[in-house]
Amino acid sequence: MRSTTTPQPNNHTDDQYPENTGKRSILKDTFASLAYRDFTWLWIGQITHSFALWVDQVAKPLLILSLTDSPIHLGLVLTARTIPAVGFGFLAGVVADNFNRRLVLLVTKIVVFVITVLFTILVIMGWMELWHMYAYNILRGATMAFDQPARRALIPSIVPTNLVTNAMALSTGSMTATRIAGAAGAGLLISSVGFGGAYAVMSFMYIGAIFSTWMLRPLEHHRSGYQGIRSMGTDLIDGLKYAWRSPDIRGVLIISLGWFTFGMAFMQVFAPLFAVQILDIGYKGFGYMISVSAIGGLAGALVLAAVNPSKGRGLMMLGLLALFGILLITFSASTYLLSVPLAFAIMLFLGAGQSAFMPLINAILVEKAEENMRGRVLGALSLDRAMTTFGGALAGFCAAALGAQVSQIVFGLGLIITAAAMFVFYPALRKIQ
């Protein structure tokens, strides 16, 4: 039987969106959000941006190790990207709530392009120094602080409410899919044309991200612009109060603290150390390792998009957090056997867990927050990302003192303890649907 109504995003008319049907295939359900023009352009922009991002994620730690051969500098430089989240995270949320979100995205991507071009010149000319790495990461972190709240807060304006989780999962899926090509490609590029060639490819990919963002034409609520910024202090306080007063939002933000502290250090610090210093698989091998995790991540994101859960999401988050901790411990244990195939197999499941966890967090936050508060709530999530700075720095020092294997086990236990504590002491989180 054909449905006569279709759920629509806020403030959009029915004729702007394709008609839904009663019978749908799994494939159509999985990619349902792509039926909407603006999400398609946002998705394409995410693909080009993510490809460049993953080339950077592989090239950067290897470049740091080639310059310093120091786990401490590796941890500090990589986590420098999260420092701006402390200073700009919530401000970025205020900007996303008061200015046109498409414009905010466009400006951030142009700035990223310029930064990357300048960094590429430094690498090609052989002028690269360690402080350049710190400066580059801090500047990149500042752009990400503004990019993510605006991009994620835009999604409920361009897809129906019932497809927000689907859209978030597809966004994450695009990022994990490009990790396959971006990470493997980065290893091959570095081996063949050096770090300069890899960053030149990155610069080119950002042009595609700029064009896709330019093509967006979302219908947004009126923004107060500079008038809103003049009341920034009040907006910041109101946003913090709003997030804290909501048990659901508060619970998600608390659990994300554990994720960013203990979970994110793996890809940033531990994985390159395992690849280069323990498994001895080199630059190409590290790229392949990240690509394997992306294959699992793509599968996890597509499953989440197809299932599009609307119940039990709180318990699902807790379960995924604990499972990720168990997998990190298992991965570290596997490296004592120096078994590359076993380590790669575990990477598949690590990628799947990561790609399922983050869309759930983002979907719950944007659904639970009022439209005029979404940017600030997601900005608060950026503040949580500041714990990546602490976690990454701690990972670097721990790896230098205890070794990467023991340190990774400790971090995995941190995730398990966080999940267990939230399950026992925060019942509201378990009840999130």
21 domain-assigned: no
Number of structural domains (the chain) is: 1
Per-residue pLDDT, averaged over 123-137, amounts to 88
| Res. 222: pLDDT tops 70 | no
Cα-based distances in Å from 422 to 243, 244, 253, 257, 360? 18, 16, 12, 11, 16
Cα–Cα distance for residue pair 36/15, rounded to 1 Å:
12
8 A C-beta contact, residue 271 and residue 334:
no
344 domain-assigned: yes
pLDDT confidence of 19, banded at 50, 70, 90?
very low
Neighbours of 341 (CB within 10 A): 8
Cα–Cα distance for residue pair 254/147, rounded to 1 Å:
22
Domain that holds residue 413: 28-430
Helices (H) and strands (E) in the chain — how many of each?
Answer: 18, 0
Q: Which residue has the higher pLDDT, 60 or 326?
A: 326
Neighbours of 431 (CB within 10 A): 13
Backbone angles phi, psi at 129, to 5 degrees: -130, 165
pLDDT confidence of 16, banded at 50, 70, 90?
very low
32 domain-assigned: yes
- CATH code at position 355: 1.20.1250.20
| Res. 11: pLDDT tops 60 | no
Q: What was the pLDDT predicted at 86?
A: 65
Lowest mean pLDDT among 11-25, 70-84, 132-146: 11-25
| Res. 344: pLDDT tops 70 | yes
15 domain-assigned: no
Q: What was the pLDDT predicted at 361?
A: 83
8 A C-beta contact, residue 305 and residue 212:
no
Per-residue pLDDT, averaged over 157-173, amounts to 80
Query: What is the average pLDDT value for the chain, to the nearest integer?
Result: 79
What tokens were used for 311? 């119940």
Cα–Cα distance for residue pair 189/173, rounded to 1 Å:
24
20 domain-assigned: no
